Amino acid sequence: MTATPDTTTWRGWLLSDTPTSRRHARLSSLYKGWLSFRSNTLAMVGLGILVALLLMALFAPLIAPHDPLAQNLLDRLKPLGTPGHIFGTDSLGRDILSRLIYGSRITLYIVTLVALIAPIAGLLAGTVAGYAGGWADIVLMRITDIFLAFPRLVLALAFVAALGAGIENAVLAISLTAWPPYARIARAETLTIRNSDYISAVRLQGAGPMRIITRHIWPLCISSLIVRVTLDMAGIILAAAGLGFLGLGAQPPSPEWGAMISEGRRFILDHWWVATMPGLAIFTVSLGFNLLGDGLRDVLDPKAEK
């Protein structure tokens, strides 16, 4: 026999099976989702990695032991564990740890902008295609197929070559290559929802297509997109690092992790830490996003067994 939660406490109130208002039901759902997420150890590890990344970027001036752009040729290529340079120095004598810390800002900048642009564009295209059907669906989905036919990095390289090198153009290029999967997901969700009794009732009340899409279809697509965005972040970080490695992303002397690997590849045999440290940073952050995405999928997927 299951014990009834004590509704006189916050926890009991949030775990109540009989919510007293819409706000109560929403808070109860969020709290139960958090409890489910918290029980996933790997997801919490991923969350911890990303919180550490956020704090590192936010407090970079306080944490970094040196100026990331300061050069000192007398200290060039110092090994790991050198006093004052825990992760060593690069070929220009710049402290690698400081550059990694400030590079986290560039990584978060790229991830945030792409996460704002690509899912919104995909959500708009996918829901319009799925709800309108007909020629709108055919045209939008064929455009989506064209984008999906090219490898993401190759297509990003083509866009950057046309737009010019730079971090803003790299963000735009990655966003232009990242939206098609979101459009596919949004279209599939819309096709499932649009003929439901719920949407038919809203339509009978006089709601127009735009109101139905924005107020009733979009909210039901958000959870799937959030999971996909989180899982895609690793690929976005790798694409940004690839562009930086090729000299088409953030430009020197910016401490972008891909550009740091590109510089360190010349010394990979004798001074391996110059390229290894930023490579480990990319690996760690990508792993964090993947672990977080798996945890969110378990919580937000309505088809998953509870």
Q: What is the pLDDT of residue 1?
A: 46
| Cis peptide bond N-terminal to 253, omega within 30 | yes
Q: What is the pLDDT of residue 101?
A: 95
Per residue in 210-253, pLDDT (tens digit) is 888 888 888 888 888 888 898 889 889 988 898 888 888 888 88
Q: What is the pLDDT of residue 180?
A: 93
Tokens (6 digits) for 306 = 């509870």
Q: Which of 120, 121, 138 shows the shortest CA–CA distance to 130? A: 138
Beta bridge partners of 82: 85
Mean pLDDT computed over 259-274 = 90
Q: Evaluate if residue 132 carries a pLDDT over 80.
A: yes
Q: Evaluate if residue 305 carries a pLDDT over 80.
A: no
pLDDT band at 26 (very low <50, low <70, confident <90, very high): confident
* Beta carbons of 174 and 240 less than 8 angstroms apart: yes
Q: Which of 276, 281, 259, 271 shows the shortest CA–CA distance to 76? A: 271
> Which region among 30-34, 37-41, 60-64 has the lowest average model confidence (pLDDT)?
30-34
pLDDT band at 42 (very low <50, low <70, confident <90, very high): very high
Q: Evaluate if residue 33 carries a pLDDT over 60.
A: yes
Per residue in 158-168, pLDDT (tens digit) is 888 888 888 88
Where are the alpha helices (H) located in 194-272, listed in sequence order? 197-204, 209-212, 218-245, 257-264
Q: Compute the chain's Rg from CA coordinates.
A: 23
The percent of residues above 70 in pLDDT, for the chain, comes to 95
CATH of domain 34-300: 1.10.3720.10
* Beta carbons of 251 and 262 less than 8 angstroms apart: no
Q: Who contacts 249 (Cβ-Cβ below 8 Å, separation ≥6)?
A: 160, 165, 166, 167, 170, 240, 241, 243, 256, 258, 259
Q: Evaluate if residue 49 carries a pLDDT over 70.
A: yes
The conformation of residue 2, written as its DSSP 8-state character, comes to P
The percent of residues above 90 in pLDDT, for the chain, comes to 42
pTM above 0.75, yes or no: yes
Mean pLDDT computed over 82-89 = 91
Q: Evaluate if residue 57 carries a pLDDT over 90.
A: yes
Q: Which of 7-11, 201-205, 285-289 has the highest mean pLDDT?
A: 285-289
Q: Evaluate if residue 304 carries a pLDDT over 60.
A: no
Domains of the chain, by residue range, sit at 34-300
